[in-house]
Amino acid sequence: MDRIVIIGLGLIGTSLGLAIRQSMGKDVEVVGTDLETSHIATAKKMGAIDRDERNIPAAVQGADIVILATPILAMRDLMEFMVPYMSEGTVVTDVGSTKKEVVAWGEELLPAGVSFVGGHPMAGKETSGPKDADAAMLKGAVYAICPAPSATEEATKSIVAIAQAIGAKPYFMDPVEHDSYIAAVSHLPFLLSVSLINTTTKSAGWREMSRLASSGFRDISRLAAGDPVMHRDVAVTNRDAIVHWLDEFIKNLHSLRNLVKDDQEGLEKALVDAWEGRARWLINRDSEEPMIGEGVNASDQFMGMILGDTVASKFREMGDKGKEDPTRYRKS
């Protein structure tokens, strides 16, 4: 029987356990561990693991696949610690939100005969810990796969097979590319959320102001509720890309500030651009077929057909400068 070991039974580790046990059934034994005893108990109760094994050497010896699902900096220590106990042919993977450093550690630290294939399922919630784990979260999620240079083809295939079994979409990426892209679409949004909270809650008027904070504030600040340790590890293993995207964002926001200040036409264009950009993203995302390592296959023409009229009408509304013609109401 195949043995899959999950180290770290937080939100993602436990969700993976649930998804693997549901989809791969009796062919595999899922063994799990965590430094928090309560996490192990919860994961077991939820049915995310077949059994727990707190003794890491015993857990990884002879394992087919070891999944690291801890905060990123802990993965390095775990890899170093596991080395003497690893068996030829074991495949190690992870689920961390940055890939360049993790893949480099896997390549450098793990012994010959053990392949490292980095992974990153694009799924998450702002909560952490196993209690909100959910196999459905991984269904349809893009699953980035970054094999270390010396990983065997077979090792890579085994991780792709897991991703496919749980209903995710495996997507091959270069680790550097992955980290740059994910900085823009995940780490940047998180830091905006952090900065929004810190800008507002530390201001003099916060007590009064907080009463007016509603669903918009709640959504934009949601990510700031994420686990600080996890996000600290993400930031320190992806510094350059994050700083690059923060700089790009600040430049863009400063331009927007100037448009608000005294360029109504420019502001209108920026608002319509954003409106259209988000609509395109959603249409594109929903029309995508699962694919491995191919480019994005979006049909711009198709999107144009759907979006064209709506965007045109937004521009027309803008042209009215918000001036409704009240005489139109008179035609009763």
Among 24, 41, 74, 104, binds a copy of itself (CB under 8 A): 74
For the bound state, the minimum distance from the C-beta of residue 218 to a copy of itself, rounded and expressed in Å, comes to 8
For the bound state, the minimum distance from the C-beta of residue 154 to a copy of itself, rounded and expressed in Å, comes to 26
For the bound state, the minimum distance from the C-beta of residue 161 to a copy of itself, rounded and expressed in Å, comes to 20
Is 77 a residue that touches a copy of itself (CB under 8 A)?
Answer: yes
Interacting span for a copy of itself (CB under 8 A) from 42-50, 87-95, 107-115, 212-220: 212-220
Is 217 a residue that touches a copy of itself (CB under 8 A)?
Answer: yes
Is 15 a residue that touches a copy of itself (CB under 8 A)?
Answer: no
Alpha-carbon distance of 93 to 99, in angstroms, equals: 11
Is 181 a residue that touches a copy of itself (CB under 8 A)?
Answer: yes
Site size with a copy of itself, rule: CB under 8 A: 127
Is 184 a residue that touches a copy of itself (CB under 8 A)?
Answer: yes
Among 254, 286, 289, 301, binds a copy of itself (CB under 8 A): 254
Interaction pattern, residues 132-171, with a copy of itself; x per rule: CB under 8 A = ---------xx-x--------------------------x
For the bound state, the minimum distance from the C-beta of residue 25 to a copy of itself, rounded and expressed in Å, comes to 27
Is 35 a residue that touches a copy of itself (CB under 8 A)?
Answer: yes
Is 50 a residue that touches a copy of itself (CB under 8 A)?
Answer: no
Alpha-carbon distance of 87 to 63, in angstroms, equals: 7
Query: 207-229 burial, b if ≥16 CB within 10 A, otherwise e?
Result: eeeeeeeeeeeeeebebbebeee
Is 98 a residue that touches a copy of itself (CB under 8 A)?
Answer: no
Is 5 within 8 Å of 60 (Cβ atoms)? yes
The structure tokens 């029987």 sit at 1
Interacting span for a copy of itself (CB under 8 A) from 13-21, 88-96, 156-164, 186-194: 186-194
Phi, psi of 94 (to 5 degrees): -145, 175
Alpha-carbon distance of 253 to 257, in angstroms, equals: 6
Phi, psi of 104 (to 5 degrees): -65, -40
Among 49, 67, 148, 182, binds a copy of itself (CB under 8 A): 182
Distance from chain centroid for Cα 197: 21
Is 3 a residue that touches a copy of itself (CB under 8 A)?
Answer: no
- List 326's β-bridge partners, or say none: none
Is 144 within 8 Å of 178 (Cβ atoms)? yes
Is 61 a residue that touches a copy of itself (CB under 8 A)?
Answer: no
Which CB sits closer to a copy of itself, 104 or 298? 298
Is 58 a residue that touches a copy of itself (CB under 8 A)?
Answer: yes
Is 188 a residue that touches a copy of itself (CB under 8 A)?
Answer: yes
The structure tokens 């059934």 sit at 25
Is 191 a residue that touches a copy of itself (CB under 8 A)?
Answer: yes
Interaction pattern, residues 297-326, with a copy of itself; x per rule: CB under 8 A = -x---------------x--xx--xxxx-x
Among 26, 212, 286, 289, binds a copy of itself (CB under 8 A): 212
Is 249 a residue that touches a copy of itself (CB under 8 A)?
Answer: yes
The structure tokens 């965590």 sit at 34
